[in-house]
Amino acid sequence: MNSPSIAGLDERFQLAQVVVQEAGKLAFHYFKERDKLVIETKRDPQDVVSIADREVEELIRSRFAEAFSDDGVLGEEYGLQNGNSGFTWVVDPIDGTSPFVNGMPNWCVSIALLHDGSPVLGVIYAPCFDETYAARAGGGATLNGNPLSLSPDKTIRNAVTGIGANSHVTPAFVARMVESLLEAGGNFIRNGSGALMLAYVAAGRLVGYYEPYMHAWDCLAGYCLVKEAGGWYHPFPTGQEQLTRGAPVVAGGPGALDDLTRIAGIDAASLAHT
């Protein structure tokens, strides 16, 4: 596979793979002690957070600041800090906080790196499964070191599609989205971690993922993984104004492209793929 030469990318990829493990171990420590966590709510009672999310993000930020002090960082808990290197890290310290605080294993640490508006690196670690997903632009995607490659034979009709929803979208919209998927012969799963479900798309476990409104930290690492595994995604708006806002998230394997773009109402010509 051809590798575009982005100066400084390889060093950052190496570091991200170390940091995601360290962050995952800290998160896993809190997961095992979760009965002692004080759970706070954010936008609504379903949107939860604890000291675990904040400490894991602080750890990740400090590791990147030590090594690449000119890089920007956007994290869910502490917002956007601009840099001047041309690289911006995009971090969700714990994606799947609801499963995390409720004692289910579907959560992960998600780290992406933006360059020229595109995710050029994505690493996701799911501590309860000891699974590390890693991708670098032009370098392919791996799961625990094994290459991932998507088959065009899987469609929404013979495989499962991941979906997600939150209080940014109306119940009626979510109902229509599920209805369209089922009417097209598909079926769905929601495990509570959009980032992990995108990693599952890259691994071929899910044929696609659709959530009407998510943030950059939820999707960019997964997007890089899916593309590098041979899939496609609907680009997330990464301009200065839009990066901290939400947008529709849609990604999938080659065999889900026509159906999922139609169901999500997006233009297939706008997609990013290899």
At closest approach, how far in Å is the CB of 69 from ligand IPD? 26
Among 57, 92, 211, 228, binds Ca ion (CB under 5 A): 92
Q: Rounded distance, CA 107 to CA 127, Å?
A: 8
Stretch that binds Ca ion, among 92-100, 119-127, 135-143, 234-242 (CB under 5 A): 92-100
Burial class (CB in 10 A: 0-12, 13-18, 19+), 46: exposed
Q: At its nearest, how many Å lie between ligand IPD and the CB of residue 194?
A: 3
- Out of 119, 127, 164, 222, the residue judged to bind ligand IPD by CB under 6 A: 164
Closest to ligand IPD by CB, 122 or 140: 122
From residue 118 to residue 157, the character string flagging contacts with ligand IPD as x (rule: CB under 6 A) and all else as - is: ----------------------------------------
Task: Measure the CA–CA gap between 273 and 247, rounded to whole angstroms.
Answer: 19
- Span of 33-41, 56-64, 73-81, 176-184 interacting with Ca ion by CB under 5 A: 73-81
Residue 228 engages ligand IPD in binding (rule: CB under 6 A):
no
Q: How many residues sit in the footprint of Ca ion (CB under 5 A)?
A: 5
CB of 1 to ligand IPD, least distance (A): 29
Which one of 116-124, 175-183, 192-200, 201-209 is the stretch in contact with ligand IPD (CB under 6 A)?
A: 192-200
Residue 162 within binding range of ligand IPD, rule CB under 6 A: no
How many helices (H) does the chain have, and how many strands (E)?
7, 16
For the chain, the maximum distance between any two Cα atoms, rounded to a whole number of angstroms, is 51
Residue 92 near ligand IPD by CB under 6 A = yes
How far apart (Å, rounded) are the C-alpha atoms in residues 3 and 26?
A: 33
Query: Tokens 């496609």 identify what position?
Result: 232
Distance of CA 172 to the CA centre of its chain: 25
Burial class (CB in 10 A: 0-12, 13-18, 19+), 234: buried
> Which among 55-63, 145-153, 191-199, 224-232 is the span making contact with ligand IPD, rule CB under 6 A?
191-199
* List 76, 211, 228, 259, residue binding Ca ion (CB under 5 A): 76
- Give the C-alpha separation, 92 to 73, whole Å: 11
> Which of Ca ion, ligand IPD, none binds 193 (CB below 5-8 Å, type-dependent)?
ligand IPD
Order of strands, sheet of 247-252, starting from the edge strand that comes earlier in the sequence? 188-189, 161-163, 208-214, 247-252, 232-233, 272-273
CB 107 within 8 A of CB 125: no
Measured from each CB, the residue nearest to Ca ion is: 95
How far apart (Å, rounded) are the C-alpha atoms in residues 31 and 51?
A: 11
Residues that bind ligand IPD (CB under 6 A): 76, 92, 95-98, 164-166, 192-195, 211, 214, 218
Residues that bind Ca ion (CB under 5 A): 76, 92, 94-95, 218
